[in-house]
Structure 1
Amino acid sequence: MEKPNCAIPRVVEIDLNKLTLPELTHEKQQIDQELAMLQDSIHTLKMAQGKFQESKKSIEKAQKYSSGQPLLVPLTSSMYVDGKIAEMDSFIINVGTGYYLRKNAEGAKDYFQRRLTYVTTQIEKIQAIGNERNRIKEAIISVLQAKVQAQFASQQAGNAKEE
């Protein structure tokens, strides 16, 4: 089954020199909005990356304990309850949207490492798109400045002829 390719925007080349000042301004605003969205996405992915790293470290730390040993179990990031280790090589991991899996230590660490690799790859892809959008934005700003200067020069020339 073929996956729809709706996440990748269609690339359209535009000759910036043919656009008017309002059109250039509009294009710059769109790029600014897109860059803000990309930054938000990177921020969200970096938060997920941190959580996966912390989860992987927690598995590694838990392996140092023994069965029956007391510990604090995190319910949220700021609330813990007393607990005891029941099984040393059995972990329940949250895989999203209310689904949990029971994994051994190596399976759990492998899961978190795969998620880390995936998230890191996505961050790199988004950063590459952001770099390209920044390059386009710089080109738009350059053309905008040139057109404003040309318009200002033609107004100055018009004013000089009237005098």
Structure 2
Amino acid sequence: MASGNSESINLDSLSAQQLSQVKKQLDEELEHLTSSFAQLHAAQSKFRDCLRCVQDKNKSSALRENNSILVPLTNSLYVRGTLSSASHVVVDIGTGFYVEKEVKSAADFYENKVGEVGASIKDLEAIVQAKTSNVRVVEEVLRQKMVGGTQPTPSS
């Protein structure tokens, strides 16, 4: 069993109690990673929504005529608004900072964010799969120890 920068452990040399602790630690790590995975998917979805809105704004000819827009307050509540500039949008760049950008620049920004988060999701997915595999190995060794009743004494 090896992961990232941690060292290898011979699972056969561990007692059932030690294996249970290792399994518990791996389960906690896996739960945290799975939660992070879900949060990254949610962030990617929001960036895609922002990108879609910016692209739709750029395509809408009716918007250019009267500059009216529906502003989302929640997922189901919108209010009518008027754009002060049809060629610029305000972009949330993170941690509460907003920047005015041209529509094309905003679209590029969101495309980059979708790509960055997608790469992080891919990397995290590989880590989650490795941790899941480690949990299965620990469970199997623990099961064999319980069935066989062999518990070598810890070498401390």
Give the structure-1-normalised TM-score. Answer: 0.83
**Identical aligned residues as a percent:** 27
Question: Match of 1:66, SS?
Answer: helix
* Residues paired across the two proteins, number: 145
Specify the alignment match of 2:118 in structure 1. Answer: 120
Distance 1:130 1:60 in 2: 34
Of 43, 56, 66, the residue aligned with 2:64 is 66
What letter matches 1:114 in structure 2?
A: N
More moved, 91-100 vs 33-42:
91-100
What letter matches 1:134 in structure 2?
A: T
Question: Match of 2:99, SS?
Answer: strand
- How far apart are residue 103 of structure 1 and its match? 0.9
The answer on 1:105 being equivalent to 2:100 is: no
- How far apart are residue 38 of structure 1 and its match? 0.5
More moved, 40-49 vs 95-104:
95-104
- How far apart are residue 130 of structure 1 and its match? 0.8
Aligned-CA RMSD value: 1.7
Distance 2:128 2:10 in 1: 21
Of 43, 51, 66, the residue aligned with 1:48 is 43
Q: RCO higher in 1 or 2 (8 Å CA, sep ≥ 6)?
A: 2
Of 23, 27, 49, the residue aligned with 1:28 is 23
- How far apart are residue 88 of structure 1 and its match? 1.7
Give the structure-2-normalised TM-score. Answer: 0.86
- How far apart are residue 67 of structure 1 and its match? 4.4
What letter matches 1:23 in structure 2?
A: Q
Distance 1:124 1:59 in 2: 26
- How far apart are residue 142 of structure 1 and its match? 1.2
Structure 2 unpaired stretches of 5+: 151-156
Question: Match of 2:86, SS?
Answer: coil
Distance 2:79 2:139 in 1: 56
Structure 1 unpaired stretches of 5+: 1-7, 153-163
Higher Rg: 1
What letter matches 2:8 in structure 1?
A: E
Compared CA separation, residues 67 and 88, structure 1 to 2 (3 A): farther
What letter matches 2:127 in structure 1?
A: I
